[in-house]
């Protein structure tokens, strides 16, 4: 809402947004003993008529402080499937969010997992793990370690030049025409070689991201794999900020709408 010079309030600057989730906490407990106990799925929300090339975007703002990693067994031979952690924070796909499901025909999905751990296990290394699926190219991901970081960015220094998400601060996911961002920093697929991905896999991942962001239909949720999300989502929304017609109208937000603007 805009307050004009004469004090009149105007809604003329509002374009359109779909508020998908507000204060959503699907698995709020802190005493889960096994990954199987964390069983509430965020069934996907479907949005249509998007135009990311014209400025539309999807974003989610969340608290990840409950997303702790508990290795099972508690040693370097921990099981990726049985250990508590690697929560599927958010997935965005063009025909669904679980690319293991036979019901999804177009298996292009972008996933974010946290906390993900390398072996040998180090309790301090709670990495963010982006993963993208697509046909062709299969599924590719990496424990992302190349954040710039710094005060107020939502990251904390890991070691050297590596930063990881700071669970004491709100975390922010955004997908737009430029790709996928975490705390306003690009999750650049060209840097996935840091996690051991081959050049071919990196190229496939980049092509899959481009395919997803070019879609006009998206499914947003958390249903992929064995690990449900313990995050609390302050808001999840799709913002139609384009001027290419459709649901977005013919204007743009007066103020930068990213990170909750104009809510």
Each residue of 58-68: pLDDT tens digit? 999 999 999 99
Does residue 65 belong to any structural domain of this protein?
A: yes
Could you give the number of structural domains in the chain?
1
For residue 11, tell me if it sits in a domain.
Answer: no
pLDDT at 246: 42
Residue 5 maps to a domain: no
The verdict on residue 252 lying in a domain is: yes
Of 33-47, 106-120, 162-176, 210-224, the one with minimum mean pLDDT is 106-120
Structural domain includes residue 7:
no
Residue 9: inside a domain:
no
pTM confidence score: 0.86
Boundaries of domain holding 106:
17-260
In a domain, 155, yes or no: yes
| pLDDT tens-place string over residues 75-87 | 888 888 889 999 9
Rounded Cα distance, 205 and 226, in Å = 22
- Within a domain: 1: no
């Amino acid at each position: 809402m805009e307050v004009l010079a004469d004090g009149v309030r105007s809604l003329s600057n509002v374009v359109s947004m779909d508020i998908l989730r507000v204060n959503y906490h699907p698995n709020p407990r802190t005493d889960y003993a096994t990954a199987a106990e964390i069983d509430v799925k965020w069934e996907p929300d479907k949005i249509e008529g998007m135009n990311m090339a014209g400025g539309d975007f999807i974003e989610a703002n969340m608290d990840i402080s409950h997303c702790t990693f508990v290795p099972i067994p508690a040693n370097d031979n921990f099981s990726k499937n049985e250990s508590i952690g690697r929560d599927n924070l958010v997935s965005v796909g063009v025909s669904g969010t679980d690319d293991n499901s036979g019901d999804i025909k177009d298996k292009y999905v972008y996933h974010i997992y946290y906390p993900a751990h390398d072996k040998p296990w180090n309790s301090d290394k709670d990495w963010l793990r982006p993963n993208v699926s697509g046909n062709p190219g299969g599924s590719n991901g990496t424990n992302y370690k190349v954040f710039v970081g710094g005060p107020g960015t939502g990251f904390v220094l890991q070691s050297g030049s590596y930063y990881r998400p700071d669970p004491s601060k709100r975390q922010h996911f955004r997908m737009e025409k430029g790709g996928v961002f975490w705390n306003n920093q690009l999750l650049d697929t060209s840097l996935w070689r840091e996690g051991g991905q081959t050049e071919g896999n990196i190229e496939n991942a980049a092509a899959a991201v481009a395919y997803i962001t070019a879609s006009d239909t998206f499914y947003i949720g958390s249903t992929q794999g064995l690990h449900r999300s313990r995050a609390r989502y302050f808001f999840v929304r799709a913002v139609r900020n384009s001027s290419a017609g459709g649901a977005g109208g013919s204007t743009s937000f007066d103020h930068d709408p990213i990170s909750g603007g104009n809510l």
